[in-house]
Amino acid sequence: MILRSTGSTGIRSTSTLLALPLIGALALGACSTGPSGADAGSTGDNAGSTSDGAGSTAGGAAGSEDTGEFPVTVDHAFGETTIESDPQRVVTVGWTDHEIMAALGEVPVGAVKITWGGNAEGSTDWFDEAVRELGQDPADITRYDESDGIPVDEIAAMEPDLIIGTNSGISQEDYDKLSAIAPTVAYPEQPWSTPWRDSVELVGEAIGRPDQASEAIADTEAAFEATKEAHPELEGTSFAWGWFTPTDTSTVGLYTVTDLRPQFLTELGMVNSPLVEELSTDGAFSANVSAEQADTIDADVFIFYTEGDFGAEQVLAEPLLSQIPALQSGAYVASSDQQAALGMSSPTPLSIPVALETFIPDVAEAAKTAQEAGR
């Protein structure tokens, strides 16, 4: 085996992939270097208020009869936020919160433009389909670019009555500005590292859909269990997930246990390599290993991104990088399909089934190769 690229897999019909997590809902890296929010006692200036636009619809609410009780107070890294009444105009500032809302039967009025792994509209196919299933048009959702920071004025112009960023990189300064616009819910502990279950629970609590959140979690866990049963070779197989910089092959980047990608794989029974565990002591999302120490990346399976002309063949041609044991045994996944990988880096009840069907079979094949090689 020379190359196993997820680029050949593609995104299959999302109707089937979305069915499991949407049963409850419809019947019903890039990382930030910002602070995690040490001032846990602070709250936003407007934490208990709603905006003037609260009377308008949220672009696709599934019915107030399904909402929980208000007011509700949500704890997060920057303190606590009280939401006085059922929010009608929600803007999300994380890469997953809008998808979680759709999985729970609600549609935001504004969301981050997905610039890595997104479709031509800055969204994802599975989110767009879920929105249409809710009777709404994805084009009606305002997509904003936060590559240069949170565009506070643009968000204010949407007149939100709630802002959600459970999987975001907002800083204390960002939070204070956003809270002056509308009640704002941030991540529970560290930026960009909120486990998908925690995000689902927080979003469900904030928008008054705790029961739908519980159902979405149960359905998604069932999807994980079904995949584990289908691929028993994943159990106990060690892995490392890395990347290379084409213009500088002197280092190997590795995602640590803090990152959501490794967390996804451990849910399937895989285990982080000892080296990754060793490098995960400071809470950082990633760590670099010198190419001269590539042979110390002691993982049964190695997963890495490819980009442009720098593919698996180029990596294998590098004298030092090619010493990674899993590359030598052929037990690797070279991911060229950003959309397929997005469901791993930003998992939600909508994207997880896509990743389980389009990405994990390649990982399972690599695990089989490792076992055959006696690793």
pLDDT in tens, 223-280: 999 999 999 999 999 999 999 999 999 999 999 999 999 999 999 999 999 999 999 9
pLDDT for 9 equals 30
**pLDDT confidence tier of residue 86, bands split at 50, 70 and 90:** very high
174-202 burial by CB neighbour count: b if 16+ within 10 A, else e? bbbbbbebbbbbbbbebbbbbbbbbbbbb
Alpha-carbon gap, residue 203 to 72, rounded angstroms: 12
pLDDT in tens, 157-209: 999 999 999 999 999 999 999 999 999 999 999 999 999 999 999 999 999 99
pLDDT for 326 equals 98
Residues 343-372: what's their mean pLDDT? 95
Domain locations in the chain? 36-222, 231-372
CATH 1.10.3720.10 fits 36-222, yes or no: no
Backbone angles phi, psi at 242, to 5 degrees: -135, -175
pLDDT for 32 equals 30
Q: Do domains 36-222 and 231-372 have the same CATH topology?
A: yes
Q: Which CATH number fits domain 231-372: 3.30.950.10, 3.40.50.1980, 3.60.15.10, 2.60.40.2470?
A: 3.40.50.1980
Higher model confidence: residue 47 or residue 314?
Answer: 314
Q: Which helix (H) or strand (E) holds 162?
A: strand 162-164
